Chains A and B, each alone.
Chain A
Amino acid sequence: ETGVTQSPTHLIKTRGQQVTLRCSSQSGHNTVSWYQQALGQGPQFIFQYYREEENGRGNFPPRFSGLQFPNYSSELNVNALELDDSALYLCASSLGGHTKNIQYFGAGTRLSVL
């Protein structure tokens, strides 16, 4: 158990819809990173939030957006869903906005876009 919780665990949406995924970070952690993992692939970095500010972004379009709240929990929003957005979405929390700090992962949200 990492203390990082994600909700929901599974989600089915149709193309063009919008989705919000949620992540509660481990107690004491102020940084949340989001990843997309397609089947058979390693996780791909979407973005990171550190103390409520975006602190790095991967190669994802603007329709992927996020928020971090004062309690350091975070949301990932995806607009105009495409079939290729079907994946396992993982969040990871850490202490400090740098990859030198160990990231602890949640169990993920499985998103299916039909």
Chain B
Amino acid sequence: SQELEQSPQSLIVQEGKNLTINCTSSKTLYGLYWYKQKYGEGLIFLMMLQKGGEEKSHEKITAKLDEKKQQSSLHITASQPSHAGIYLCGADIRNNNDMRFGAGTRLTVKP
């Protein structure tokens, strides 16, 4: 089983709608990263969260870390077609430089 579970696996939303992607860890999180990937390409860094309760925003994307629940969420407000792609959460869950990733959430935004 995946050590980082992402939900949903895929999401189709109408342009302008809000959406949330979740990432849940089976182990203690030592930092949580969000990346975006276009199909078959490299990962683009979005945000890093290190402390419980931390919340960061960049443009229309907000990420939060709930350390006690070993969970993070990524929220997109007023989605646009440019938000489409695969969103991946990554974390060092062993505190030994071994970055684990979830399987990703594929987002489609319909114009």
Contacts and interface: CB of A to CB of B under 8 A. Distances in A.
B54 to A, nearest CB: 13
A56 B99 CA distance: 10
Interface string A80-111: 00000000101010000111101111111010
Contacts of A40: 103-104
Given A102-B33, A102-B48, A104-B45, A42 B40 contact: no
A16 interface: no
Given A43-B101, A98-B97, A100-B50, A108 B41 contact: yes
Contacts of A71: none
A48 B99 CA distance: 10
A105 B43 CA distance: 6
Nearest to B89: A42
A45 B90 CA distance: 11
Interface residues of B, number: 26
Contacts, number: 71
A58 interface: yes
A33 B40 contact: no
Contacts of A55: 97
A55 B97 CA distance: 8
B33, B97, B99, B102, most chain A CB atoms within 10 A: B97
Nearest to B92: A99
B102 A45 contact: no
Contact of B42 (A2, A42, A102): A2
Given A45-B99, A56-B98, A99 B30 contact: yes
B21 interface: no
Interface in A1-28: 2, 4
Given A100-B92, A102-B45, A108-B41, 7 more contacts: A2-B42, A2-B44, A43-B99, A56-B98, A88-B40, A99-B99, A103-B99
Interface of A: 2, 4, 33, 35, 40-45, 48, 55-56, 58, 88, 90, 92, 97-100, 102-108, 110
Interface of B: 2, 4, 30-31, 33, 35, 40-45, 48, 50, 88, 90, 92, 96-104
